[in-house]
A and B are shown apart, each in its own frame.
Chain A
Amino acid sequence: MTDRSDKYSNKYKLSISNPKVFDAVKMGISILIGLTISFVILIFVSNNPVNAIITILTGPLTKTRYIGGVIQSFIPYAFAGLSAGVLFKAGAFNMGSEGVFILSGVVITAIATSPITTSSILHPILCYLGAIVFGGTVMILPSLLKAKFNTNEMVVSLMLNSVYAGVAAYLVRTFLGTVQRGSNSSKDYLLTAKIGNIYEPLKISVCLFLLIAVTIILYLVMTKSRLGYQIRLAGTNPSFANYSGINAFKLSITTAAIAGVLSAMGATTALLTQTSYYTPSQSLVGIGFSGMLLAMLGRNNPIGIVIAAFLVKYLEQGSQILYFVDNKVPSEIIAIIEGVIIMLVSSQYFLRRFRERKLLEEGLEEHAE
Chain B
Amino acid sequence: MLNNIIETIFSMRFLLQVIRLATPIIFASIGAFVAASCGIGNIAIESIMTFAALAGIIGSYLSGSAWVGVIVAVIVGMLTALLITFFSMRLGADPFLIMIALNTFADAVAIFILFQFTGEKGSSASLATKSLGVIDIPIIKDIPIIGEIFSGQYVLTYVCWILVILTFIVLYKTPLGMRMRACGLNADAAKTAGINVERLQKLSLALSGLFAALGGAYLSINYLKIFTKGMVSGQGWMGVAANGIANGNYLSLILSAIIFSFFRAVSIIFSSNSSFPTDLVGAIPYLSVFIILTVVSIVNYYRIKRGKVEEQ
Contacts and interface: CB of A to CB of B under 8 A. Distances in A.
Interface in A84-102: 93, 95
Which of B96, B100, B102 gathers the greatest number of chain A CB atoms within 10 Å? B100
B111 interface: yes
Which of A148, A159, A339, A350 gathers the greatest number of chain B CB atoms within 10 Å? A159
Interface string B177-190: 00000000000000
Given A149-B301, A330-B121, A333-B112, A167 B293 contact: no
Contact of B91 (A95, A333, A347): A347
A330 B290 contact: no
B104 A343 contact: no
Interface stretch (B18-26, B204-212, B236-244): B236-244
Interface stretch (B125-133, B156-164, B219-227, B280-288): B280-288
Contacts of A346: 87, 93-94, 97-98, 101
A169 B289 CA distance: 20
B98 A145 contact: no
B184 to A, nearest CB: 16
Contact of B101 (A154, A333, A343, A350): A343
Contact of B282 (A95, A166, A296, A335): A166
Interface in A288-312: 289-290, 292-293, 296
A158 to B, nearest CB: 5
B101 A349 contact: no
Contacts of A150: 297, 300-301
A45 interface: yes
Interface string A149-165: 11110111011101101
Nearest to B286: A162
Interface string B282-312: 1100110110011001101100000000000
B12 interface: no
A170 B280 contact: yes
Given A150-B301, A330-B111, A332-B112, A167 B104 contact: no
B7 interface: no
Interface in A102-125: none
Contacts of A334: 108
A170 B105 CA distance: 28
B290 A159 contact: yes
B272 interface: no
B48 interface: no
Q: Is the interface of A mostly helix, strand, loop or mixed?
A: helix
Nearest to A151: B297
A150 B87 CA distance: 28
Contacts of A152: 240-241, 244, 293, 297
Given A156-B293, A162-B286, A343-B98, A45 B93 contact: no
B65 to A, nearest CB: 25
A185 to B, nearest CB: 13
Nearest to B280: A170
A296 B98 CA distance: 10
A155 B241 contact: yes
A342 interface: yes
A348 interface: yes
Q: How large is the interface on B (under 10, 10 to 19, 20 to 34, 35 or more residues)?
A: 35 or more
Contacts of A155: 237, 240-241, 244, 289, 293
B43 interface: yes
Nearest to B43: A154
Nearest to B100: A292
A336 interface: yes
Contact of B287 (A163, A342, A350): A163
A165 B294 CA distance: 20
Contacts of A275: none
Given A165-B283, A167-B279, A332 B109 contact: yes
Contacts of A145: 294, 297
B87 A343 contact: yes
Nearest to B244: A152
A19 to B, nearest CB: 15
Interface in B138-184: none
Interface in B110-130: 111-112, 115-116, 121
B297 A339 contact: no
Interface in B66-121: 87, 90-94, 96-98, 100-102, 104-105, 108-109, 111-112, 115-116, 121
B96 A93 contact: yes
Contacts of A154: 43, 240
B293 A151 contact: yes
B284 to A, nearest CB: 9
A172 to B, nearest CB: 9
A174 interface: yes
B280 to A, nearest CB: 5
B234 interface: yes
Given A155-B240, A343-B87, A162 B92 contact: no
A148 B304 CA distance: 13
A332 B280 contact: no
Contacts of B280: 166-167, 170
B38 to A, nearest CB: 18
A347 B93 contact: yes
A343 B93 contact: yes
B42 to A, nearest CB: 12
Contacts of B282: 166
B277 interface: yes
Given A290-B104, A346-B94, 16 more contacts: A45-B116, A95-B100, A145-B297, A152-B244, A155-B289, A159-B237, A160-B286, A167-B280, A167-B283, A170-B279, A330-B111, A334-B108, A335-B108, A336-B112, A338-B105, A348-B93
6 contacts: A149-B300, A160-B286, A167-B280, A173-B277, A293-B101, A330-B115
Interface of B: 43, 87, 90-94, 96-98, 100-102, 104-105, 108-109, 111-112, 115-116, 121, 234, 237, 240-241, 244, 277, 279-283, 286-287, 289-290, 293-294, 297-298, 300-301
Q: In the A-B complex, list the 7 residue pairs whose CB atoms are closest, starting with the nearest.
A: A166-B283, A335-B108, A347-B91, A348-B92, A162-B286, A169-B279, A349-B92
